Amino acid sequence: MKASIIYFTSLGRTKKTAKVIGSTLTNFEVDYFPFELQGTFGMKVSIQNQHNKGDFSTIERELSELENIDQDYDLIIFGMPTYGDNPPSAFYEIVKRVNIKEQKVAIFVTCSITGKKTLELMEKTIEDAGANIIGQAKFKGFFKPKLRKASQFGHIINETPLSS
Ligand SMILES: Cc1cc2nc3c(=O)[nH]c(=O)nc-3n(C[C@H](O)[C@H](O)[C@H](O)COP(=O)(O)O)c2cc1C
């Protein structure tokens, strides 16, 4: 089976979490679709402000790589950080650009303190797009990402039957 992990990261924690989850998916061939903000913290803030205004030109190349993803993968995993109790604006654009109708999907959030609302918003967006969520997790780590929990989550996803 094939899985894709689509993640967004600004500070690197969601990337580390995504890689740990991917490494546990031994029943899958895993491809990563990273959305990694580059540059100084100020540049990253500025890029996200652009995204908040609906301008996704800075990540258009990555977005265009998502075309046809629905036909290639048995499972799609979305991993997002929490910023101001919300997923990044790019998340909504990413979901618009992938046809996930009737697709099996898992979602995860990284956060420092909260993350519940972000996970709920992601769940609703993914379900509204017609996908079936087979697993979800929130990794709360104030000082470092919770990689052991990410590994446990990955193992569970790896063993979850995908047939409906
Ligand atoms: C601008 C900003 C806003 C954040 N807002 C929240 C928040 O509302 N709740 C929370 O628990 N963590 C918040 N965090 C912490 C991040 O969600 C957490 O560090 C996350 O793992 C970062 O992911 P990344 O390293 O992949 O960018 C915030 C971090 C930043 C930089």
**Predicted pLDDT of residue 32:** 97
**Predicted pLDDT of residue 127:** 97
- Distance in Å, CA 12 to ligand 1 centroid: 11
Quote the pTM value: 0.97
Ligand 1 contact, 118 CB (< 6 A) = no
Nearest CA to ligand 1 atom 28: 83
- Give the atom of ligand 1 at the shortest distance from the alpha carbon of 141: 21
**Predicted pLDDT of residue 63:** 96
CA atoms within 13 A on the CB side of 96: 9
| CA-to-CA dists, residue 102 to 109, 130, 151, angstroms | 22, 6, 26
User: Is 51's pLDDT higher than 80?
Assistant: yes
Ligand 1 contact, 10 CB (< 6 A) = yes
User: Is 164's pLDDT higher than 70?
Assistant: no
| Percent of the chain residues topping a pLDDT of 90 | 90
Q: Who contacts 33 (Cβ-Cβ below 8 Å, separation ≥6)? A: 4, 5, 6, 7, 62, 65, 66, 69
| pLDDT, tens digit (0-9, with 9 covering 90-100), for 75-115 | 999 999 999 999 999 999 999 999 999 999 999 999 999 99
- Distance in Å, CA 109 to ligand 1 centroid: 10
Topology of domain 2-159, per CATH?
Answer: Rossmann fold (3.40.50)
